[in-house]
Structure 1
């Protein structure tokens, strides 16, 4: 089936395929998306904390959903792909990348759980913590190439494997999947560069960083 998924596609698909580190890129059918949705609902983190893949939920609302199978050369995400959120919506912790770690170094207001995740112990919380996988920007698809409401996300590892098995791809641990979804602009239609929900997450993350600076 790998030959089918690599068949020539539309302009948006070919833009994605041209990015560094993309091994495969193809549109996901609604039947596999439904299977992934069911699997995502079962995901739990350590301590049985609920995991809510908001990015994937948003992707399901879009008309077009692309799966990218990428190798390590693919660019890092523009924003954190995992945050810990309290029941009242406060961000208690977030993923950190090598290129963002510097802003947290030597800050007394943060606790490092690992090299890739920091906690904000002074942020008020009311319990009910959930790991959120928020929608993330994907700037390569935008209004200039006919796209609106663009979101991207990472599927859970079990869902990543499910997708690759469905399309006959190898289970290679050096590869990982990213999902990017969008709607298509109509004639004469315009759209903001950043989806409003993503903009809200970015604003809340900035507020936390401003507090500790």
Structure 2
């Protein structure tokens, strides 16, 4: 296929079964107004891939290839997470299963807070950043996956704040806005988040 020939395909498979991610992607693809139907892999009975890569890039490509191979269609995958430098970059690629069980947001947030307790210093915020890597493959054996990366910098709160979002959003403080990621509406979050940034790069690549 040529650079953007995948756009001529009727369906682009979204390699995720995470309800929060799916909702964000559906909103963002709607805003992009691309001439393609985006179908979450769950609707095609595709289970999650085994994420055994050592980086966000590797895992995103693994998931995209997995969905493309089973569906026979172009696929896009996101691998994202929270990196805290003072923890050596953890939870990193293990963000969704930091406390052991995959997707247990409450347990993951509790573990993160506990791990940071002995490292906190008075009046010294703990820095963190959300990372998103998007991988787009035109077919399962695509030799040149398209990669788009977004970084969202903030601070890690001492307790949860906000009722929106998912994952670590309630602990992610945005000092320039004076609120947490979980305080933002979906529309406002998508404009500035790590995932929103990566999607903007995808949009620019299609122009």
Both proteins in one fold, TM over 0.5? no
Asked which structure has the greater RCO (Cα within 8 Å, sep 6+), the reply is: 1
- TM-score by length of structure 1 reads 0.31
- TM-score by length of structure 2 reads 0.31
Q: Kindly indicate which of the two structures has a greater share of residues assigned to helix.
A: 2
